[in-house]
Amino acid sequence: MSQVPATGRENGEWGRAEMEFQDRNIRCVDCGEEFVWTAGEQVFFHDKGLQNEPKRCKPCKQAKNERLAAIAAAQAAGQRQRIEVSVNCAQCGQQTTVPFYPSQGRPVFCRSCFLASRAAADGYEG
């Protein structure tokens, strides 16, 4: 049993000070465009106690929600939906589709580059 002492309580009081919210520009992780996170939305976030700032602009967020909703609906209907996401291969730069949602910052390869890199790894014979 270990009680973690609540340190920094005093500093925490800062959070209760009246905060002034200002419109902020955030770069969308999906399309790379800057979008405005309005003061009103920040107040909403603050009221909800949300910690994470929005990462996507509205169209991208909506598109993502629709994709997720479509997948959820398909799964609920007992279908196996074939996912196809358009990406640019990190190796050769060609546009390709992958059957999964790539995570941010991870390189995605087209099929031939993927197989080539795997073959290179497998073919390692010292």
In the complex, the smallest distance separating the C-beta of residue 73 from Zn ion, rounded to whole angstroms, is 23
Q: Does 91 bind Zn ion (CB under 5 A)?
A: yes
Q: Which two tokens stand for residue 68?
A: 């997720």
Taking the least distance from each CB to Zn ion, the nearer of 36 and 73 is 36
Of residues 47-76, those binding Zn ion (CB under 5 A): 57, 60
Find all residues with CB under 8 Å of 46, minimum gap 6, and list them.
Answer: 19, 21
Taking the least distance from each CB to Zn ion, the nearer of 42 and 89 is 89
Find all residues with CB under 8 Å of 96, minimum gap 6, and list them.
Answer: 86, 87, 88, 89, 108, 109, 110, 111
Site string for Zn ion, 93-122 (x = CB under 5 A): -----------------x--x---------
The closest alpha carbon to 114, from 91, 97, 82, belongs to: 91
Q: Give the residues lining the site for Zn ion (CB under 5 A).
A: 28, 30-31, 57, 60, 89, 91-92, 110, 113
